[in-house]
Amino acid sequence: MSPRFKQAGKLILALSMIVGMAGCQSFQGFAGAESPPEVMGTGDLGLVIERASGSVLVINTSRHEVLGRVEGLGDLSHASVVYSRDARYGYVFGRDGGLTKVDLLSRTIVDRVVQSGNSIGGAISQDGRYVAVSNYEPGGVKVFDSQTLELVADVPATYTSGHSEAGQSKTVGLVDAPGNLFVFSLFEAGEIWTLDMSDKTAEITRFEAGKSPYDALITPDGRYYIAGLFGEDGLSMLDLWNPGHGVRQILPGYGKGEQKLPVYKMPHLEGWAIADGRAFVPAVGHHQVLVADSSDWSLSERIPVQGQPVFVMASPDNRQIWVSFAHPNNDVVQVIDSQTHEIVRTLEPGEAVLHMEFTPRGEEVWVSARDSDRVTVYNTRSLEPVATLSAQKPSGIFFTSRAHALGL
């Protein structure tokens, strides 16, 4: 071998040793450093609202585990959450007008804006670009960029009263709908509005809705927007596939009816259950779950239950209807068979049950008990508790599976 090739071989060997030593040093340095954060997906995560402390728990539904607590979210009474399309970020709507963007993986607040004096929930658009907030004070809806939380549209809920005076209405029942629509109701104005965010021009369409709509829902297929009326019996329904037909009244007997009973808490219409071709509806001021034929929305049955229903929720397979109640019966949950309409079990999750949330495939349901400072996890087949998590005055439970559902 020539001297030149020998020298080249020695040079290559020396370089290899240097690279190898550097690699070893890098590897040893990495091994001696702090462990990197755990890599995980977001599909089985969620947030539990701790209303008294202004905090949220980040939870893992597969492991029945609290991953961490995020504090500093303000007044979380009646708080709700929607999620980004990738289910990494939760947008928390507080009662104090706060909109807070929470990173579930880092368990930190990404951004927070206080956009009004008093707000009541919100929604995220079909394409995930916009987050809308429904406001009591000063009323109206504000729309924000989901990435930056910069204001995109300010929609005042102005109306003319019977005395020809201009006013601002509380907005309620805000949901997202197909076509990048937001739909919401105006309490004082007695109207339903659609807000089209499909382009840069926020287009509003107004519909007469009846007296004092107080809450609303959208059916899982995104077709019907249904608002409950506080000022009269019945419900108002807007067919979003055929909006030109206007709003029509359904279930005309729905409400307090002739016998004016005290209403301890208005039911949450978002918790309606639609199963086996029927809608299971919480009665107002009565210890009943109403059953309506979802083909024509006629009332077909009344199921006696233990108290005034607040949430009436169907399991993902639609086999069970879970019912929670207003005070003074708010320490129990009843389970109804969706085919026989019989109560199959009465459970006692704790004092002041406020919310329920099914895991995406329905094998479990999580139930918050505010005054017992705990969340209980039930197996939906055995109806037995399988886990309990401590929480500070828990209320709403929101899983990231909501990122892929309309109106949630």
Q: Does residue 279 surpass a pLDDT of 80? A: yes
Question: Is residue 17 helix, strand or coil?
Answer: helix
Does any domain span residue 66? no
Tens digits of per-residue pLDDT, 61-111? 999 999 999 999 999 998 999 999 999 999 999 999 999 999 999 999 999
pLDDT band of 35, cuts 50, 70, 90: low
pLDDT digits (tens, 9 = 90+) for 305-357: 999 999 999 999 999 999 999 999 999 999 999 999 999 999 999 999 999 99
Residue 226's pLDDT is: 92
Q: What is the enclosing helix (H) or strand (E) of 363?
A: none
120 or 385: whose pLDDT is higher? Answer: 385
Residue 13 has pLDDT above 50, yes or no: no
- Asked whether the predicted pLDDT for residue 151 surpasses 70, the reply is yes
Question: Which is more confident, 212 or 260?
Answer: 212
CATH number, domain with residue 139: 2.130.10.10
Q: Band of the pLDDT at 286, cuts 50, 70, 90?
A: confident
User: Is 225 domain-assigned?
Assistant: yes
d(CA 193, CA 143): 14
Q: pLDDT of 180-211, one tens digit each?
A: 999 999 999 999 999 999 987 889 999 999 99
Q: Are 102 and 70 in contact (CB under 8 A)?
A: yes
Pairing of β 141-145 and β 130-137: antiparallel
User: Given this model, what pLDDT does residue 393 score?
Assistant: 97
Q: Is the model's pLDDT at 407 over the cut of 50?
A: yes
pLDDT of residue 5: 41
Q: How many Å apart are CA 390 and CA 370, to the nearest integer?
A: 10
pLDDT at residue 258 greater than cutoff 90: no
Name every residue whose Cβ is closer than 8 Å to that of residue 363 and which is 6 or more positions away in sequence. Answer: 379, 380, 381
Q: Is pLDDT at 1 greater than 70 in this prediction?
A: no
The answer to whether residue 79 sits within a structural domain is: no
Q: What pLDDT score does 281 carry?
A: 87
Beta-carbon count within 10 A of 202 CB: 17
- State the Cα–Cα distance between residues 218 and 239, nearest whole angstrom: 10
CA–CA gap between residue 324 and residue 311 (Å, rounded): 5
Residue 265: name the closest of 309, 318, 230 by CA: 309
Structural domain contains residue 222: yes
pLDDT at 303 over 90: yes
On whether residue 223 sits in a domain, the answer given is yes
- With pLDDT > 90 as the criterion, what percentage of the chain qualifies? 69
CB atoms within 10 A of CB 350: 22
In the chain, the largest separation of any two C-alpha atoms, in whole Å, equals 110
16 to each of 3, 19, 21, 153, 180, how far by Cα in Å? 20, 5, 8, 61, 58
Q: For every residue of 127-193, which 3-state class applies, written as one string? A: CCCEEEEEEEECCCEEEEECCCCCEEEEECCEEECCCCCEEECCEEEEEEECCCEEEEEECCCCEEE
What gap in Å lies between CA 246 and CA 249, rounded to an integer?
Answer: 10
Is residue 395 over pLDDT 80?
A: yes
**The CA-based dihedral angle spanning residues 121, 125, 130, 131, taken in that order and rounded to the nearest 10 degrees:** 10
- Give the span between the Cα atoms of 369 and 395, in whole angstroms: 7
**Cis before 138 (ω within 30):** yes
What does the pLDDT read at residue 8? 42
> Does residue 77 form part of some domain?
no
Per-residue pLDDT tens over the stretch 344-385: 999 999 999 999 999 999 999 999 999 999 999 999 999 999
Residue 266 confidence (pLDDT): 63
Q: Which residues pair with 141 in a beta bridge?
A: 134, 155
Say whether pLDDT at 274 is over 50: yes
- 8 Å CB contact between 113 and 154: no
Provide the CB-side half-sphere exposure for 80 (13 A, CA).
21
pLDDT in tens, 167-181: 889 999 999 999 999
Give the domain extent around 156.
Answer: 115-250
Domain total of the chain: 1
Q: Is the pLDDT of residue 128 over 60?
A: yes
Whole-number average pLDDT of the chain: 87
User: Which residues, in sequence order, are CB contacts of 244 under 8 Å at separation 6+?
Assistant: none
Higher pLDDT pick, 25 / 96: 96
Please give the Cα distance from 202 to 103 (Å, whole number): 28
Question: Is pLDDT at 18 greater than 60 in this prediction?
Answer: no
pLDDT, tens only, 200-249: 788 999 999 999 998 899 988 999 999 988 888 888 999 999 999 999 99
Residue 170 lies in a domain: yes
Contacts of 172 (CB under 8 A, 6+ apart): 120, 121, 134, 184, 185, 186, 187, 213, 214, 215, 216
Give residue 264's pLDDT band: very low, low, confident or very high (50, 70, 90): low
Task: Kindly state whether residue 353 falls inside one of the protein's structural domains.
Answer: no
Amino acid identity, residue 308?
Q
